[in-house]
Amino acid sequence: MESAVNLSLLYLRSRIPTLPDSADEVAARLRDLGFDVERTVPLAELLRPIVVAHVDSVTQHPNADRLKVCSVNDGTEQRLQIVTGAANVEAGAYYPLVRSGTTLPNGTKIKRGKLRGEVSEGMLGSADELELGTDHDGLLALSGDLVPGTPLPDAMRVDGIVFAIAGNPSPDEVVEALTTGKRRER
């Protein structure tokens, strides 16, 4: 099976503000330019594995000034350890949690790993990492009557479409074709 790249309408519009609002029109334009749009997927569907998390505690990373080690409640009995560089992380706050093994809307799979010697069992997400905005300066803080472990689309309004484009074109290649109107060379 040929690999595909996932590109959101939000991402494409952030690079090309004049794109139509209609996902169908953008998909048709991509096809006219020689891209194989396998499918369009509601962003909410791709964000369903991402859950609301409550940060129980935040401590300074012992080996890195800019990193924090968080104990996170994801609705299960066991707390997860998440390492983050986000300056706005606070104990007592709620953020989207991308557990290890989960895939982001852009196709990036999050893995359990070590950051400067400390285990991180996933990541807390920013708006742009989740295709919910363009802000990457900090985590997406969630508010309201929240329950840890709730799928993100059940905790907040999620709009948007993601295009799965076969052949694994680079995002820059897609943007260039949409900007210039030149058909893709195969």
Please give the pLDDT value at position 1: 41
Q: Which residue has the tokens 């609705």?
A: 75
In this predicted structure, what is the pLDDT of residue 186?
A: 63
pTM of the predicted protein model: 0.85
Tokens of 45: 């569907």
Facing residues of 80 across strands?
Answer: 72
What is the CA angle 142-22-181, rounded to 5?
A: 115
Ordered per-residue pLDDT tens for the chain, 186 residues: 457 888 999 889 989 999 998 999 999 999 999 999 999 999 999 999 999 999 999 999 999 999 999 999 999 999 999 999 999 999 999 999 999 999 999 888 999 999 889 899 999 999 989 999 877 789 999 998 999 999 999 999 998 999 999 988 989 999 999 999 887 776
Three-state DSSP class for residue 13:
helix
**68 close to 58: Cβ distance less than 8 angstroms:** yes
Instruction: Give the sign of the dihedral formed by CA 71, CA 75, CA 77, CA 80.
Output: negative
Q: List, in order of start, the domains of the chain with CATH numbers.
A: 4-43+159-180 (3.30.56), 49-150 (2.40.50.140)
